[in-house]
Structure 1
Amino acid sequence: MDKRYQLQFTVNKESQILREAIAIWGISKRTLTAIKFNGGNLLVNGEEKNVRHPLQIGDVVTIIFPPEEVSGGLMPEYGPLPIVYEDEAVLVVDKPAYMSTIPSREHPTGSVANFLCGYFKQQGIASTVHIVTRLDRDTSGLMVIAKHRHIHHLMSEQQKKGLVHREYEALVEGVIKQQLQSIIAPIGRKETSIIEREVREDGQFAHTDVKVLANGDNISHVRLKLHTGRTHQIRVHMASIGHPLVGDELYGGSRKLLDRQALHCRFVQFQHPLTGQILQFESAFPNEFSKLL
């Protein structure tokens, strides 16, 4: 059985050659080159054709992508992977806190990527791991994953156009009196650290909307909408206005109440890369946060 990733389209436009149709369907020139030279195939009505082949309305085009090889440093593991949604193109998982997105020197095992690699192996999916929306190790909540390199490319194009929407909920230190505000401040790497970021004039444009949901005893429960996806964006922006996340020691928060930053990806929305359908998912607010309120 051929386990290479495949897409199939029916031609509905006259006077096209195969190359033109492939471009309309979102296949990049780089991917087309890989299909031609790295073990893929282009079939029209079940027969292999080249990119100059003229198409007729009703022709069925099958694009067989080259096999993907898993990185040598990514070992398959078999464990908890809370899948919220899955189809032939994408996965949405509800990541628990203290699980890394990808393995690192400090945490080489037990990551989302390790468990995905094992899951793909069990399911016979000939793909490596393609993370669309990444979360910090201590941040919990929803993550979007593409099941193939081409799907990742399509999702990345959506992200560039601002079509992948994420909203977070967090507990921050202090009482925020302004119920709605937008933080628009550029973020860059701090010169004295390889990890820490800061608001700085030469940083990348970053925009976060903040809505106060409730105020507790020197704690505010906020909902945050990301318009950009900079590293540590929420953590840096909230610290910059004097309200670091509860538990976020890196950016000035205290761990007296919680031993991780109180940040949870509550909502994601995106357009399905193949069908165009708008998909929305929501994750429950963590009980450990609720108890602090």
Structure 2
Amino acid sequence: MSEYRPLEVKDTKERLDRWLAEQLPDLSRSRLQKLIEGGCVCINGETCTSKKASVQNGDRVVVTIPEAVPLEVEAEAIPLDILYEDNALIILNKPAGLVVHPAPGHENGTLVNALLAHCPDLAGIGGVQRPGIVHRLDKDTTGAIAIAKTDFAHQHLQAQLKVKTARREYLGVVYGVPGSTNGTIDLPIGRHPRDRKKMAIVPLEKGGRTAVTHWQIEERLSNYTLMRFRLETGRTHQIRVHSAQMGHPIVGDLVYSSARFSGVNLPGQALHAHKLGLQHPVTEEWIEAIAPLPESFIKLLTFLRQRL
């Protein structure tokens, strides 16, 4: 356990969480609220678990930070394709086949293993098994992914995803040609009722969660289409499920399509997180990282264009 020096309240009467956020700028307000709820904040020697409690002139406030749970994941020197990096965050271009975080069957060789070798201080940020991970990409989806280097940056970036200020754009090749040039898919997604490894369109009243995907046609390629997708929400397999639902599954997606593509050897679905835009958690400047298309995606486009 580590403990901040006692904080003396002077000339104010304010809500506890707001006052602490002003006194301890290295901790996000969300993080402070969780510490309060967890009984880690004392006012005048008494534990306070209400973030709405008031502090006033003369109060003595002590904040205790619990020790981070040991991270039982080994650092591995796996090469990283870095698009942007500073003291607060890092944005990577993830290759196909790289699992983001350890899970049964993928305990080693993950992005988290690689990150711990590159940034040892990540341990304890954002959870035991997912240090610094702000959002995720499927194993075979390539492209831009952001990782926070500090607890404050982690909370800040997750908040951006929640309020939809961060911008995530994907490129994907689908089977067939949609009837219009753009559109929006607003269908809730949840765990498949029979196959727990898959997601599906599930009504909200049956446990589905709101999922919104905006799409537009980038290029018509005979019986295939290059599409741009923009995520408003970030549900597991969202683009893959929504594309299949509209009758145009992602090429190479063996989970949500029975079609088999021949002509180019694809490592997975032809889906790439092309652009990631976000507000820097410290400077508040807008950052936009563009991940170059992987070689397999370029080969696929070249193959389809040559057939026109």
Structure 1 residue 278: Cα displacement = 1.3
Residue type of the partner of 1:181? G
Aligned-residue offset at 1:277: 1.4
**TM-score by structure 1 length?**
0.78
Could you say which residue in structure 2 is the equivalent of 1:42? none
The residue identity in structure 2 corresponding to 1:285 is L
Check conservation: 2:89, 2:149, Cα contact below 8 A.
Answer: yes
- Out of 159, 163, 177, the residue aligned to residue 161 of structure 1 is 163
Q: 1:99 to 1:220 in 2, by over 3 A?
A: same
1:130 maps to which residue? 132
Tell me the C-alpha RMSD between the 2 structures: 2.8
What is the distance in 2 between the residues matched to 1:66 and 1:289?
45
1:233 correspondence with 2:238: yes
Q: Is the 8 A contact 2:267 2:296 kept in 1?
A: no
Q: Would the alpha carbon gap of residues 70 and 215 (structure 1) be closer, same or farther in structure 2, given more than 3 Å must change? A: farther
Equivalent residue number for residue 149 of structure 2: 147
Give secondary structure in 2 for the equivalent of 1:250: coil
CA distance in 2, matches of 1:34, 1:160: 23
The change in CA–CA distance for 1:52 and 1:154 in structure 2 (over 3 A counts) is farther
Shift of 1:34: 8.2
Displacement of 1:139 after TM fit?
Answer: 0.3
Gaps of 5+ in 2: 5-9, 42-54, 126-130, 302-308
Q: Does 1:115 align with 2:123?
A: no
Tell me if the contact between 1:93 and 1:144 (Cα under 8 Å) persists in the aligned partners: yes
User: For 2:191 and 2:118, how far apart are their aligned partners in 1?
Assistant: 35
CA-CA distance at 1:66 after TM superposition: 6.5
The CA deviation at 1:181 is 0.8
Q: Which amino acid aligns with 2:273?
A: C
Cα distance in 1 for residues equivalent to 2:230 and 2:71: 33
1:22 aligned residue: 20
Query: Which residue number corresponds to residue 288 of structure 1?
Result: 296
CA gap 1:147/1:171 in 2 versus in 1, 3 angstroms: same
- TM-fit CA distance, 1:279: 1.1
CA displacement, residues 134-193 of structure 1 (integer Å, 9 cap, x when unaligned): 000000000011112332222222222111210000011112231111111111111112
Instruction: Give the Cα separation in 2 of the matches to 1:16 and 1:218.
Output: 67
Judge conservation of contact 2:132–2:149 (CA < 8 Å) in 1. yes
Per the alignment, residue 222 of structure 2 pairs with 217
Instruction: Describe how 1:163-182 pairs up with structure 2 within 5 A.
Output: 163-182=165-184
Q: Is residue 97 of structure 2 the alignment partner of residue 89 of structure 1?
A: no
Report the residue type matching 2:82 in the other structure. Answer: I
Mapped pair 1:271 → 2:260: no
Letter of the 2:210 partner, please give it: F
Quick one: structure 1 residues 189 and 126, their matched pair in 2 at CA, closer, same or farther if it must change by over 3 Å? closer
The sequence identity of aligned pairs, in percent, is 33
Q: Which runs of 5+ in 1 are unaligned?
A: 7-13, 38-50, 55-62
Structure 2 residue matching 1:92: 3-state secondary structure: strand
Query: Would the aligned equivalents of 1:127 and 1:148 in 2 still touch at CA under 8 Å?
Result: no
Counterpart of 2:178, as a letter, is I
Change (3 A) 1:144 1:64: farther
Contact 2:84 2:92 in 1 (8 A): yes
- Pick closer, same or farther for the CA change 1:65–1:137 going to 2, 3 Å: same
Match of 1:191 in 2: 193
Aligned-pair distance for 1:79? 1.6
- SS of the aligned residue for 2:226 comes to strand
Per-residue CA distance 1:45-69 (angstroms, 9 max, x = gap): xxxxxx9788xxxxxxxx9977645
How far did 1:289 drift? 1.9
